[in-house]
A and B are shown apart, each in its own frame.
Chain A
Amino acid sequence: MPLLDIRNLQLEFGTGKDALRAVDGVSFTIAEGETLCLVGESGCGKSVSALSIARLVPTPPARYVGGEILLNGRDVLKMDQRELRSIRGGVVSYIFQEPSASLNPVFRVGNQIKESLKLHRPQFATDEEVIRLLKLVGIPAPESRIRDYPHQMSGGMQQRIMIAMALASEPKLLVADEPTTALDVTIQAQILELLRELKQRLRMSILLITHNLGIVGDIADRVAVMYAGQIVELSPARALLQRPLHPYTQALMNSVPQLGHELDRLQAIPGNVPNLGQFPSGCRFHPRCPKAQSDCSQKAPELVEVEPGRWVRCPYWK
């Protein structure tokens, strides 16, 4: 049994005629110790899918229309509040894009970490444990930092605090929602390095959400590419990076600069990301697709396994 098994997740914003479907039939699994990267442009539904794992999307305006989110075999969408609280932090922890916005500005960082400890490992809610966690995430002189407020730290340090806070409850799954986007390039590399190290040391599963295919190769075991609320390609990382199958993935790859690859020039994907709820008929990518055929606008393609472990939502992938 995989640690996380999302089946046919469907989520809408709003109700009735005006409802906008943000997530439309997303399915994927994460095994214990595995790292999955969820890749896509902003607005494709990847963050909402990730937040759904601990049911953190506010309802309303959101509404779960269908599907299951099985965490350790239990459906998150059917849990009551008490059970939900125990899995939040207890099984799945989050780090977010903007560390300065995710830390509460009026509380000391040590206390914010201790709050997690009190909830999930009360016997360890001590300064010593907080200092150990800060050391684990590579904060220098942690003894002097626990009484700091978030605004007294740099962005990179703040993100390390967020990671320490997420790890405090010893979760099985760490969901990192664009954890490096708001940081400087050198700091980005450090944070990614830290995540990879922690993954090996703690044998944790990671769901990393990013719009940057460039960082996928460093850390991911498998990759899911999302477009307009659907997964269009799901594949082992190495295979996907060597030979992307879906036209969208290929276009994404061509728009990312890569070392050691001779490319004539970077290619932007023509057209715009479709707005929520205004998805084209048929294949949602067809207006921007270089390989589009005449029937692409009519028939919505299914996600099919075309090679062992490789799933693609395009009949013309060859």
Chain B
Amino acid sequence: MGTFILKRLLHMIPILLGVSLLTFLLMSLTPGGYLQSLKQNPQISPETVEKLLAKFHLDKPWYVQYCYWLKNVAVGDFGYSVQYKISATDLITARLWNTFLLSFFATVVAWFVAVPLGIWAAVNKDSLVDRACSLIAFAGLSIPEILLALLALMFAAATGWFPIGGAQGSLYDLMTPTERFWNRAHHLVLPVLVLAASELAGIMRQMRSNLLDTLRAEYVTAARAKGLPEGWVIYKHALRNAINPLLTIFGYSLAHLLSGAFIVENIMAWPGLGRLTIEAYSAKDSMLVVDSVVMATALLIVGNFVADLMLAWSDPRIRLKE
């Protein structure tokens, strides 16, 4: 198990290096050049430009810039955001945390609804419930997140039950810690539900077909032949095995989840990495675009790592391979 974890961790390093190199290369292709756009921006003082120049050597070729960027990022320094006039490190950390919150709770909600539904549909295969679930899941797979998010906004505007976008109320700074917590939670509900809803259908369909597959497996017949009650057969023998492919899929679906979060953040004004990327793009702050792309990738890779760990924990065939 130890070597397994170590191997996976080591595998993450070249990917992160490659991704940052690639995005840096893309940034160097920005029309007009990053340095030029900084200088032309009247909102940025020449001193700031000088400071950035000294730190990231923006006048050098892109690969030299990359080395300086890497050196700084390695010690956790993302530089300075010209747009927000604060440390880019603080900015990115806050945004990363928001995207993580949104994705994490959406995953939890989606799984808690989709897995039992999938099981129910599989156990009652071809029943009315199963057919209804399949149909809804199929429609759910086809609803774009954009539409769902806009509908959620419409819902919020019509009922007034939820805030219309954003992450905190206007009086947030005046609130007590408990009020702040509830205010944040209240803002989180709709984005989480939208993102969860867009993930739900896929997980449900997967769960159903996995469980149907394992219910046909010979070890399930063998478990019945032992005299186990049907409940045990399904929930102990079949379900434990049906979960494993779902964990594998979970790793893959994280990329989809983060893209979904990107859309939800931008429509519902949730200040996460996706929104930051667009804001940085509009402000022509290419460095911040690179930073947020790399952080989003890091989030995805770490998520994959966690999925691998869960799979290894759940499936002895993978855990004991090494």
Partner-B contacts on A (CB < 8 A): 51, 54, 56, 81, 85-90, 93-94, 96, 98, 101-107, 115-116, 119-120, 149, 151-152, 162, 165, 169
Contact = CB atoms under 8 A, between A and B. Distances in A.
B236 to A, nearest CB: 9
11 contacts: A54-B225, A81-B230, A89-B226, A101-B218, A101-B219, A104-B219, A119-B227, A120-B227, A149-B316, A149-B320, A152-B320
Given A56-B224, A103-B219, A151 B229 contact: no
B182 to A, nearest CB: 41
Contacts of B219: 101-105
A59 to B, nearest CB: 13
B320 A88 contact: no
Interface string B277-310: 0000000000000000000000000000000000
A98 B317 contact: no
B16 interface: no
Q: Taking each of B227, B237, B320, which has the highest tally of chain A beta carbons within 10 Å of its own beta carbon? A: B227
A90 B316 contact: no
Given A86-B227, A106-B244, A119-B228, A149 B317 contact: yes
A106 B222 contact: no
Nearest to A93: B225
Contact of B227 (A51, A98, A104, A169): A169
B127 to A, nearest CB: 13
Contact of A94 (B225, B237, B241, B317): B225
Given A54-B225, A93-B225, A151 B317 contact: yes
Q: Taking each of B225, B237, B314, B320, which has the highest tally of chain A beta carbons within 10 Å of its own beta carbon? A: B225
A226 to B, nearest CB: 21
B162 to A, nearest CB: 42
B221 A56 contact: yes
B224 A104 contact: no
B241 A104 contact: yes
Contacts of A103: 219, 222
B240 A106 contact: yes
A89 B314 CA distance: 28
A81 B224 CA distance: 11
B217 interface: yes
Interface string B224-255: 11111110000001001100100000000000
Given A56-B221, A96-B218, A105 B226 contact: no
Interface residues of B, number: 22
Contacts of A81: 229-230
A130 to B, nearest CB: 14
- The list of the 4 closest CB pairs from A to B, nearest first, reads A88-B227, A89-B227, A94-B225, A101-B218
B52 interface: no
B223 interface: yes
Contacts of B244: 106
B225 A151 contact: no
Contact of A165 (B221, B226, B240): B226
Nearest to B315: A106
Given A96-B218, A102-B218, A85 B228 contact: yes
Contacts of B222: 94, 96, 102-104, 162, 165
B217 A88 contact: no
Contacts of A86: 227
Q: Taking each of B221, B223, B230, which has the highest tally of chain A beta carbons within 10 Å of its own beta carbon? A: B221
B226 A169 contact: yes
Contacts of A119: 226-228
Contacts of A165: 222, 226
Contacts of A56: 221, 224-225
A88 B232 CA distance: 14
Contacts of B229: 81, 85
A102 B314 CA distance: 19
Nearest to A88: B227
B225 A105 contact: no
A149 B318 CA distance: 11
Nearest to A92: B225
B320 A101 contact: no
Contacts of A90: 227
Contacts of B223: 104
A116 B237 CA distance: 13
Q: Taking each of B217, B218, B221, B226, which has the highest tally of chain A beta carbons within 10 Å of its own beta carbon? A: B226
B222 to A, nearest CB: 4
Interface in B194-238: 217-219, 221-230, 237
Contacts of A89: 225-227
A98 B218 contact: yes
A312 to B, nearest CB: 33
A88 B224 contact: yes
A85 B137 CA distance: 36
Contacts of A104: 219, 222-223, 237, 240-241
A161 to B, nearest CB: 11
Contacts of B315: 105-106
B233 to A, nearest CB: 10
Given A102-B218, A105-B316, A169-B227, 16 more contacts: A54-B225, A56-B221, A56-B224, A56-B225, A81-B230, A85-B228, A96-B222, A105-B241, A106-B240, A107-B237, A107-B240, A116-B226, A119-B226, A120-B227, A149-B317, A169-B226
A175 B75 CA distance: 67
B228 A106 contact: no
Contacts of B317: 105, 149, 151
A106 B314 contact: yes
